[in-house]
Amino acid sequence: MLQGFDNQKYLTMQSEHIKERISKFDDKLYLEFGGKLFDDYHASRVLPGFEPDSKLKMLLQLADQAEIVITISAKDIEKNKVRSDLGITYDADVLRLIQSFRGKGLYVGSVVITHYSGQKSADMFKSKLESLGIKVYRHYMIEGYPSNVDLIVSEDGYGKNDYIVTERPLVIVTAPGPGSGKMATCLSQLYHENKKGIKAGYAKFETFPVWNLPLKHPVNLAYEAATADLNDVNMIDPFHLEAYGETTVNYNRDVEIYPVLAAIFEGIFGNCPYKSPTDMGVNMAGNCIYDDEVCRDASKQEIIRRYYASLNHLAKGECKADEVYKIELLMKQAKISTELRKVVSAALLRAETTSTPAAAIELADNRIVTAKTSELLGASAALILNAIKVLGNIDDSIHLISPTVIEPVQKLKTQYLGSSNPRLHTDEILIALSMCAATDNNAHLALEQLPKLRGCQVHTSVMLSNVDIKIFHKLGIQLTSEPRYEHKKI
């Protein structure tokens, strides 16, 4: 796949920039870390060359200076809020994050329960963490937050919060998801550190929107599409423009909250160290794009994928029509349509000519491969087999998996496991293929082609099961589907 982002330059430049920011304060920086740390697949899709774990690798370069504080809202614990991408609750994700950070060699200092007001579920979670040897602190609700600055910057505001004991100059404040109180945790610590005579600093690490790309650049439009459910809007940073005469891009929530933040900084330090929300950021991603056209094209494709994702959510009753309308508007701003996604027309044509659900994949060399649903296989499973045949130069007439192997699996599904669908899903077909690969050279050759599917584009004429969606994701295939069910069931 074509690339347009220099990942190594990014790792070096980003870590050096954070070190420089630490040095501007009393060797203590609280860094609010937004977005996904381990698996930033959005960034890797819109900035080809950006590795999904780039942020983690960057932090590992600072591992001896950094410690991690994880925040979680007591409100989210109380209502068992779930991460939609992982299907686990926020409190379970805190444990997952701790384990993952430690497994990578990063030091997790503590967990902070924010928005605390005596919730029993939060108390139980605190006890559970402490039984595992994890330090836990509580931060309380502040009446009138964030506009009542006089109360916030007082002993009855931030002063009531537990002081988080930290050991290292760089404190990464992260969370399972938005609304967890990362920024408030950072500012509360600045208040306490200042009382102790330490002028600690605050900075924000958000990859998107990219501050030094144009407002309507496809990379930034793709971020708006990705956050359509949050109704985030990219905008010119008016404070930066006034202070420096320089046009930069930020998003509405940061611009709206800046005057409050500036007042809080003044209440803590007597002055605000930043003249704009852009000044607070440390993101260097925009400086590492070396092929702007590649990133533009990739971002346009991402907007279209987000459009189909929203259409699917709407068909399932999981979002409102406004989300779809917003992405349609972004597509007009980017001057694109679904026709730009070649696999869409290919899948729909195959479905129309066969009168069955169908799928299409665009390989790295731009070849289009299609497949349809049959008595033995679903369209997704058939598509994977057809694609790896093409990649392995295996004749289409050759059976990679004998029907005599498929039929017993179907019998197992329907007669013993109670499934009403005898067709094999993608995961089942891959297991069957791997078994055949032990004795069949063609199956072995086909299996070796699977890594070549990473980054390929797929479209299906109907919405898929969660099983098929997860397999496409694990293979690194970028999937879209028509907002239609295969069967007319409630």
Confidence of residue 287 (pLDDT cuts 50, 70, 90): very high
Give the residue extent of every domain in the chain. Answer: 7-212+246-288, 341-481
* pTM metric for this prediction: 0.89
pLDDT-wise least confident of 60-64, 307-311, 391-395: 60-64
Q: Pick from 365, 383, 364: which is nearest to 373 by CA?
A: 383
Neighbours of 332 (CB within 10 A): 10
Task: Tell the CATH topology of 341-481.
Answer: Cytidine Deaminase; domain 2 (3.40.140)
Distance of alpha carbon 39 from alpha carbon 116, whole angstroms:
29
Residue 41's pLDDT is what? 87
Question: CA-based angle 102:106:111, to the nearest 5?
Answer: 70
Confidence of residue 122 (pLDDT cuts 50, 70, 90): very high
14 to 47, 89, 413: CA distances (angstroms): 16, 31, 51
CATH number of the domain at 7-212+246-288, please? 3.10.630.10
Scanning the structure block, which residue is given the tokens 């499934």? Answer: 419
Q: Tell me: the pLDDT tens digits for 30-73?
A: 999 887 777 788 999 999 999 988 988 888 999 999 999 999 99
pLDDT-wise least confident of 121-135, 171-185, 314-328, 407-421: 407-421
The Cβ-side half-sphere exposure at 303, using a 13 Å CA radius, reads 31
What is the overall mean pLDDT for the chain?
92
Confidence of residue 166 (pLDDT cuts 50, 70, 90): very high
Question: CA-based angle 283:287:293, to the nearest 5?
Answer: 120
- Give the DSSP letter string of 337-369: -GGGSHHHHHHHHHHHHHTS-EEEEE-TTS-EE
Give SS3 for 391.
Answer: helix
Q: Pick from 138, 167, 159, 189: which is nearest to 30 by CA?
A: 189
Q: Tell me: the pLDDT tens digits for 430-462?
A: 999 998 998 999 999 999 999 999 999 999 999
Six token digits for residue 150: 């006089």
Mode of pairing for the β-strands spanning 135-140 and 29-33: unpaired
Domains 7-212+246-288 and 341-481 agree in fold: no
Average pLDDT over residues 164-187: 92
